[in-house]
């Protein structure tokens, strides 16, 4: 039972947050008259020593250390004597762990935001440099219409920008001070909760002590944010994995983010991207598992909530690592402009041919049917490309085709016609990149 109940192995990651929370708490105890100035100074010096031992790898864990809170208090008492027992006056591990965890999650969300920004800016910079590169766009993994490579990179940056906004919502929910709530009913010594919030740099304190000690909504928000980021990275990774195959040949990963086969010397495997894709499943499991842990709990604190740390620590670490690795992949991969351009085929301009008829006043549904006949006729002819059909063959299908129809078979013209906001024309993509950059600069 001692082993089953012990959370120090996981919780010691919060050693500095626990000491920071205690440092603020003893200031409030001093203000409340529980500690005199001399006692406060002794405790503060003791806390510095405990922190120094953790940071220098000299902290010695002992069998009775059930969690990080008892471990730190035990060591503080060893250093300064029975006075160490005063630091827990009016405080419960219930509000203490909530405080520690909020401090930890806040710090890692802020560093995660920077990792997201780094990747977004990397995508933007690459898109600007390679704005003129054309490639096939796909739906259902079937070639659909020509797009700019920069348009694809912009789509990645756009969804990651949404993830920054999700992070800000999670950060806002996290960044509230629970300390001073006691075990569930509040504090008996009129502790100054605003002082606690100010000392720990929380913009506000939480209002209901019953809710405070049992609330892990901020953990669920953080886990969902991690799932959203990892889902986007996984889909992006799948694109690049496919595009790096010999069948596509669009991109080539640098050696730093690839590995060879143990048997086949010609292989170059995209292990970095496969690992990112694979780890997404575990992060989804973290969210689902902890959601199930809390969904049926009665109000206030229950020991089931101890499952929070393993899930959220793993998610925060994995997302940060995945973002850093993906940034490395994007910044170092090379593209084969010729392969991308060579993969474009005139059948991808069938919609442009339909648009040609639309501009002549033909209803689009009729245009769709007519161009379907053109595609069928081209498939039955030698060569199979729709621009290989003669004007006579086009007019046999519909007399409204004129000699100018062949202007529709131009890839550059096709992408430039998509100049609406969000489109794949050069101006539209550059506008997207500028917009993303403005949003990101605000965080």
Catalytic residue, from 111, 188, 254, 261: name it. Answer: 261
Rounded to 5 degrees, what angle do the CA atoms 112, 324, 222 make? Answer: 30
Tokens of 212: 């405070």
Is 151 noted as a catalytic residue in this protein? no
- Return the structure tokens found at 338: 């010729």
CA 33 to chain centre: 45
CA 297: distance to chain centroid?
29
∠ CA 388-392-394, nearest 5°, is 65
**171 and 107 Cβ atoms separated by less than 8 Å:** no
Answer yes or no: are the C-beta atoms of 98 and 106 closer than 8 Å: no
Do the bridges between strand 251-252 and strand 334-335 make them parallel or antiparallel, or are there none, so unpaired?
antiparallel
Residues 6+ apart with CB under 8 A from 228: 162, 163, 166
- The rounded distance, in Å, linking the Cα atoms of 351 and 386 is 12
Distance CA 169, CA 246 (A): 42
**262 carries an active-site annotation:** no
- Could you give the residue numbers annotated as active site? 140, 261
């Amino acid at each position: 039972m001692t082993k089953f109940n012990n959370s120090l192995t996981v919780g010691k990651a919060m050693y500095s947050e626990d000491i920071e929370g205690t440092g603020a708490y003893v200031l409030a105890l001093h203000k409340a008259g529980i500690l005199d100035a001399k006692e406060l100074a002794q405790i503060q010096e003791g806390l510095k020593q405990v922190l120094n031992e953790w940071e220098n790898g000299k902290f010695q864990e002992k069998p009775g250390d059930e969690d990080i809170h008892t471990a730190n208090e035990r060591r503080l008492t060893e250093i300064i004597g029975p006075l160490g027992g005063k630091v827990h006056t009016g405080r419960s591990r219930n509000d203490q762990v909530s405080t520690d965890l909020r401090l930890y999650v806040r710090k890692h969300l802020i560093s995660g935001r920077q990792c997201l920004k780094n990747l977004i800016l990397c995508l933007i910079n690459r898109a600007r440099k390679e704005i003129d590169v054309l490639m096939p766009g796909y739906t259902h993994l079937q070639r659909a219409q020509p797009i700019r490579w920069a348009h694809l990179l912009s789509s990645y940056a756009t969804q990651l920008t949404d993830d920054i906004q999700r992070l800000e919502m999670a950060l806002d929910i996290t960044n509230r001070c629970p300390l001073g709530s006691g075990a569930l009913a509040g504090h008996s010594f009129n502790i100054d909760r605003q002082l606690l919030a100010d000392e720990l740099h929380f913009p506000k304190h939480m209002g209901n002590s019953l809710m405070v000690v049992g609330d892990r909504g901020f953990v669920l928000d953080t886990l969902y944010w991690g799932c959203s980021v990892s889902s986007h990275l996984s889909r992006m990774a799948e694109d690049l994995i496919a595009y790096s195959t010999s069948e596509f040949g669009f991109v080539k990963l640098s050696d730093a983010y690839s590995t060879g086969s143990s048997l086949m010397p010609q292989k170059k495997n995209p292990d970095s991207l496969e690992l990112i894709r694979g780890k997404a499943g575990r992060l989804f499991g973290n969210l689902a598992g902890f959601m199930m842990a809390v969904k049926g709990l009665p109000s206030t604190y229950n020991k089931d909530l101890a499952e929070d740390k393993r899930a959220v620590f793993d998610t925060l670490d994995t997302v940060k690592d995945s973002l850093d690795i993906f940034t490395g992949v994007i910044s170092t991969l090379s593209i084969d402009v010729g392969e991308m351009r060579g993969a474009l085929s005139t059948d991808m301009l069938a919609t442009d041919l339909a648009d040609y008829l639309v501009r002549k006043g033909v209803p689009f549904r009729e245009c769709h049917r007519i161009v379907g006949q053109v595609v069928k006729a081209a498939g039955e002819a030698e060569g199979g490309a729709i621009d290989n059909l003669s004007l006579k063959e086009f007019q046999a299908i519909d007399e409204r085709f004129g000699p100018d129809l062949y202007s529709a078979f131009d890839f550059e013209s096709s992408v430039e016609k998509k100049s609406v906001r969000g489109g794949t024309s050069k101006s539209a993509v550059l506008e997207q990149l500028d917009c993303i950059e403005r949003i990101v600069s605000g965080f």
